[in-house]
Amino acid sequence: MTVLIDMDDVLVNTTEVWVQHLNALFGTSVHYEDLTSFDVSLPFRPHTREEVYATQAHAEFWRRATPMPGAVAAVEAIKKAGHRVFVVTNSQYVCLQVKMEELLFRYFPMLTWSDVILTACKQMIKGDVLIDDAPHNLAGGDYEKLLFTAPHNRAFNAASAGFTRVNTWPEALQKLRALTPNA
């Protein structure tokens, strides 16, 4: 089985740390749990979207992010069961090296560049399962769709879209095991 896993807000706590980083830079007090949109810039107005997203080029931001609870053990378990794991991410080129070297490979040493797929269109990637926090990445793809819960997708009705919602990594592993006895 080939398991495709999104990086941001699925493997690592990107948006939570990003909100903290933006609060420190802008002197704001936005709470991660209060995000209701994938556009992180909205609660940081009057700052522009460009100003907010430009902060992803800050290396210290990526060095502060950490794995989601249970993510490292889950990836290890999936690989140990003999399945392929690909991290499928839509990342800005300006932050790519630090994001991968200081974050992904630091905490997930079982992964290498050969296990990373960069794309803005995840529907074009072939796999058996995609675990992602963005419904627009799951929609239309030819794979089982696991929607990883995050504040920005809580209002989305996963079941009506044909997705399976998972709230934690242990729950995601349970769903994977239901798809195949070797997951």
Q: Are residues 9 and 20 in the same domain?
A: no
Q: Are residues 101 and 20 in the same domain?
A: no
Q: Are residues 74 and 134 in the same domain?
A: yes
Q: Are residues 111 and 128 in the same domain?
A: yes
Query: Using one digit for the tens of pLDDT, what is the confidence trace for 6-32?
Result: 999 999 999 999 999 999 999 999 999
Helix (H, G, I), strand (E, B) or coil at 93: helix
- Mean pLDDT of the region 153-159: 95
φ, ψ of residue 152 in degrees (nearest 5): -75, -5
Average pLDDT, the chain: 93
- Distance (Å, whole) CA 94 – CA 21: 17
- Distance (Å, whole) CA 21 – CA 28: 10
Computed over its alpha carbons, how large is the radius of gyration of the chain?
A: 16
Q: Are residues 84 and 134 in the same domain?
A: yes
Confirm if 132 and 91 have CB atoms less than 8 A apart.
Answer: no
Q: Are residues 119 and 165 in the same domain?
A: yes
- Residue 183 pLDDT greater than 80, yes or no: no
Confirm if 129 and 176 have CB atoms less than 8 A apart.
Answer: yes
Q: What is the pLDDT of residue 181?
A: 57
Q: Which one, of 89, 117, 63, lies nearest residue 10 by Cα?
A: 89
- Residue 182 pLDDT greater than 70, yes or no: no
Query: Using one digit for the tens of pLDDT, what is the confidence trace for 96-154?
Result: 888 999 899 999 999 999 999 999 999 999 999 999 999 999 999 999 999 999 999 99
Domain that holds residue 6: 2-13+67-179
Q: Are residues 104 and 57 in the same domain?
A: no
- Residue 73 pLDDT greater than 50, yes or no: yes
- Mean pLDDT of the region 57-72: 91
The count of other CB atoms within 10 Å of the CB of residue 82 is 10
Do strands 144-148 and 84-89 pair parallel, antiparallel, or not at all (unpaired)? unpaired
Q: Are residues 136 and 120 in the same domain?
A: yes
Q: Are residues 87 and 175 in the same domain?
A: yes
Residue 67 is encoded by which pair of tokens? 């794995």
Q: Are residues 99 and 72 in the same domain?
A: yes
Residue % of the chain over a pLDDT of 90? 83
Q: Are residues 54 and 102 in the same domain?
A: no
Domain count, the chain: 2
Q: Are residues 100 and 166 in the same domain?
A: yes
